[in-house]
Amino acid sequence: MKVNLLDESWPIRGTFTISRGSKTHAQVIVVELLQDKYVGRGECVPYARYGESIESVLAELAPLAVKIEEGLTRQQMQSLLPAGAARNALDCAYWDLECKKYGQRIWQRLAVAMPKPLITAYTLSLDTPERMKQAAIENAYRPLLKLKLAGKGDVERVAAVREGAPDARIIVDANEGWNEALYLEIVPELVKLKVEMIEQPLPANNDSALKYLPRPITLCADESCHDRRSLPHIIGRYDMINIKMDKTGGLTEALALKEEAEKAGLKIMVGCMLATSLAMAPAFMVAQNVQVVDLDGPLLLAKDREECITFNGSQMNIYQDALWG
């Protein structure tokens, strides 16, 4: 076994803005595992919100190269890296290699039904109400829109989008940008605007108020949810969790988290960082039969991989094994 670590940059179509800032490129790391004639690949996105960077993730992965070359297994690797981007890329590369070695698709390795196409949300970047309305008009044909919000002016933003896309379902993501007072002010207005879900309204380290605040709209934990260890904190504060591969540390933990969360009565959203189809492919499997799919990363890029997931509007189609799994 040999290991390659690749640092890649993919241009975004325009600028992508959330409450924490803007970006024009998606910075990803790809892990390649090479064994005989087979190559397994996995992609991750280091995320500064969780103290990650390209440099830090490469530094986490580099020392494992020798152990991998000596035969470290996917199961053994789980305890050597924390839940996060580094373990995600490596875990997904192991799964891809396993599929290629056994000549099976990922659903066959998992012993589950062949996946079906999915309808993904499409994200409208944080902007002025006028610009978000224009973006809504341009994407009004999409069945589900996700709006990036920030706090002040959010009701105006959502109202503008609702005017621009009157028939679309709408979910919103505050990215920890609200406080308790804003929550109480904004949520009743979002009910009137038929918003179906609010993602992470309060900071992850200060969300205890959600235990007693009214929840007329489904609340989804994003930054508050990483792996199964997050669930005791989440239950009673949120109705749904957002499973992202870069938070769980790979497909292995993502599937385990999904199963345990469903047993606890939580609804499931499967989301993504801004990345290529290589990162979406494992998440596509986790996103089967969930309430909300948010895997639009490739739609927001100016360019995707040559072997990529194809989209019919907002419908994600089943990918070929040349991409992954």
The catalytic site residues sit at 148, 244
Going by C-alpha positions, the residue among 199, 234, 254, 201 that lies closest to residue 84 is 254
- The number of beta carbons lying within 10 Å of the beta carbon of residue 191 is 12
Instruction: Give, in order, the Cα–Cα distances in Å from 318 to each of 96, 107, 265, 281, 295.
Output: 15, 11, 28, 9, 13
Torsion from C-alpha of 310, 246, 120, 160, nearest 10 degrees: -120
Amino acid at 74: R
Going by C-alpha positions, the residue among 217, 253, 204 that lies closest to residue 81 is 253
Q: Is 302 helix (H, G, I), strand (E, B) or coil?
A: coil
Nearest 5°: the CA angle 70, 41, 85 is 90
Residue 217 has, within 13 A of its CA and on its CB side, a CA count of 24
Cβ 251 vs Cβ 223: under 8 Å: no
d(CA 209, CA 206): 8
Cβ 87 vs Cβ 81: under 8 Å: yes
Q: For residue 160, what is the enclosing H or E element?
A: helix 154-164
